[in-house]
Amino acid sequence: MRRALSSHMKRWVTRSTRSLALPPTQRALFHTSFKAASTADDSQYLRALFDDSALWRQHQQRAVLSNDSPTGLLEHPLFNNAAGFDKAAQQAINQAQILVERICQAPEHGRQEMKLVIQHLDKLSDTLCIVIDLAEFLRNAHPDPALMNAANKAYTDLCTYMNTLNTDTRLYKVLAKVLDDSTIVSQFTPDEHAAAIVFLRDFEKSGIHLPDAQRQQFVELSDRIILLGREFIQRQPRAASHIQLARSQLQGLPSSFLAQVSNGDVVDLATDSIDCQWILKYADQPGIRRQVYEAINSANPDSIELLEWLMRTRAELANLVGQPSYAHLQLQDKMAKNPDNVSIFLRTLLQHQLPITENDMRLLQQSGNTTTVNAWDRDYYMHKHTLTQPKSTSMPYFTVGSVIQGLSRLFDHLYGVHFEPADMRPGETWHEDVRKLDVVCERDGKIGSIYCDLYGRQSKTTHAAHYTIRTSRRLGPGQYQLPAIVLTCDFTGGNHSSVLSMFEVETLSHEMGHAMHSMLGRTDFHNVSGTRCATDFVELPSILMERFVSHPDVLALFTDRQDIKSSLQSYLQQRQRFSGIEINNQILMSMIDQQYHAAHTSAFVHGSFSSVQLWHQLQDKYGSFASVPGTMWPVQFGHLFGYGAGYYSYLFDRTLANRIWNTCFAQSPLDRENGQAFRDRLLQWGGSRDPWESVAHVLGGKDGDLIALGDEKAMSTVGDWGIDV
């Protein structure tokens, strides 16, 4: 039973906003101008509702007066109190159990019932996911601890039940029997066949096809991996937790910083604090920088042992189900297909980016007046180079409302869809800052809803994310379940207007790229709709959306400033500074993720696997800087557990998005024909179509022909396309 991660590879962001309340006269003008919901430009009203909390409250009061029928959180009727959460979970289990028994009894009722098995499996998955996904979001974002705990309990109970379904051999045998019947399979729609294959693969990834003894071993190994992964993420990995330095050795550090961190003549710094980054950036003495670098990249022996134990256990799990390595197990249903193809992509990309990386290194050498730049010199020389560059023209700051307004206009240009403010019923929202949007298509009417929870608060998870609450699914002829998602950010502001930096505009645009995939990826089956697709494909639409907001014609939809082109160019030049070194580092991280997870069990049995040796070999062979003896950064690389052989995905999708942008949109980013083609050829399929086919169809021509097969040649071709920096 598959349940794709509802947040998918969440993009982590830092907070860099400032607050700006609308002046009272301007607020009064808004209230007067937008007394009625309809204006000459509805997007102006949309912008005002995001930028003015008083206007939003007025809007909501009118909505309550016109519809005072209460509901539960996110329109789920039972999610209105702690007891309701438990009731919703139990109700979902009861409904699911009815479907389970119907599926298991299908062979007894003939071929007609067997034809319905995939539909019933999908409905079973949807029944559970509607509650699981909703509970997953609320346990991370609801401000009431009691309701947050109730959501967490509902989430845990349903995940436990879903795990029992993952090991229910009756379901697997019926599914396998359906797929063995060529008469039934020949009548499948493309969506239905894709959903069936996904169900089968996920069952088999859970070891359900194994004999009883091996299946029990699979469960034990899976449980052990979860425990090891949690400890790997949570434990203190460094050998040195603090480092003490003499204040007299810290020439170059701002006096205000020294005053904050020093106690007399001694400076005591935690190695996991940002204070150490200040030393690397500003300290004039290279010996001090090296001392700090070695401390913050140190590793205690227990952390190294834990990392290798995690890798060994994953290798044993893969071997149990007949795969050579954990990377082979994880990649079999991804675009990459196998670890060899990932390695080909990464090495080709590394070679393509080499001239840019080498140019960055020359700039560092010039800054340091040296031919050798050590790892501990990087930040210091980068800072010195920056001081020699002309100051960039400042980008305009955007209000949250102007970004929402601009994105609505952009999507109208590209896809013929726009945002409209949606009324919320009593009990539907979890915080007063939340806004709701209806996504309206010029052809199909309302096609889904987006809840925007964009401001930071104490009890809320502090990163930008896209949460699936409800997916598209065909309910009957011409009838679809409308998708609903939540976008979260941690912008400052909340009760008054907030302004966003360009980085935060890109962040919100990225998450809206996911949202459009969820809205437009309308399929007959919930399990392959929207962002429920391969993890090395899911980031493509969102990364592409970042490229749109780097174009002046698009930003003109967000602001009336006339100097946007020159200031944008200056911003992009500043952002691209030393990006070659940054990409090289990302490639190294992806390589070590692959190397660790591609190891065979024999390497662990014979003692030939060394996580330390592999890291230093990769860094010396491919890295911009030579490895430093005694350091072992990968013990801090928490994504080794979360991504598990999939860390390359962001680079891979960034490369694909770059090619699509340059081919289809760079010259005319508001062109409807190209936007509609991207919608029809890629977005609308969700995860129901081979992503290689979709990307090839979008690119067309020679590029499309080169990658259509999704083989080794395709991976090499994508790597050689490179990333614009």
Q: How many CB atoms lie within 10 A of CB 5?
A: 16
Q: Domains plus CATH for the chain? A: 18-70+397-552 (1.10.1370.40), 75-213 (1.20.1050.40), 242-296 (no CATH)
Say whether pLDDT at 331 is over 90.
yes
Phi, psi of 237 (to 5 degrees): -85, -20
Q: Report the pLDDT averaged over residues 678-687.
A: 97
pTM of model > 0.75: yes
Q: Report the pLDDT averaged over residues 146-152.
A: 95
Phi, psi of 202 (to 5 degrees): -70, -35
- Which is the catalytic residue, given 511, 582, 673, 712? 511
Residue bearing the bigger pLDDT, 687 or 66: 687
CA–CA distance from 75 to each of 105, 226, 430, 485 (Å)?
34, 33, 11, 12
Beta bridge partners of 53: none
Q: What confidence tier does 310 reach under pLDDT thresholds 50, 70, 90?
A: very high
Q: Amino acid identity of 580?
A: G
673 in catalytic set: no
Handedness of CA 26, 32, 37, 39 (dihedral sign): negative
Q: CA–CA separation, 438 vs 31, rounded Å?
A: 22
Tokens read off for 85: 């959460």
543 and 654 Cβ atoms separated by less than 8 Å: yes
336 and 536 Cβ atoms separated by less than 8 Å: yes
Say whether pLDDT at 37 is over 80.
no
387: exposed, middle or buried (C-beta count within 10 Å: 0-12, 13-18, 19+)? Answer: exposed
How distant is the alpha carbon of residue 241 from its chain centre? 31
Cβ-proximal residues to 140 (8 Å cutoff; 6+ apart), any chain: 460, 461
**DSSP string for 23-91:** PHHHHHHHHHHTSSS--SSHHHHHHHHHH-HHHHHHHHHHHHHH------GGG-TTTTSHHHHHHHHHH
- Which pLDDT score is estimated for 496? 53
Say whether pLDDT at 31 is over 50.
no
Handedness of CA 610, 613, 616, 617 (dihedral sign): negative
CA geometry: angle at 351 spanning 349 and 357, to 5°? 95
Say whether pLDDT at 180 is over 90.
yes
The tens digit of pLDDT for each residue in 346-392 reads: 999 999 999 999 999 999 999 999 999 999 999 999 999 999 988 77
Would you put residue 551 in left (φ > 0), alpha (ψ -120 to 50) or beta? beta
Say whether pLDDT at 50 is over 50.
yes
Q: CA–CA separation, 368 vs 281, rounded Å?
A: 13
Q: What confidence tier does 2 reach under pLDDT thresholds 50, 70, 90?
A: very low
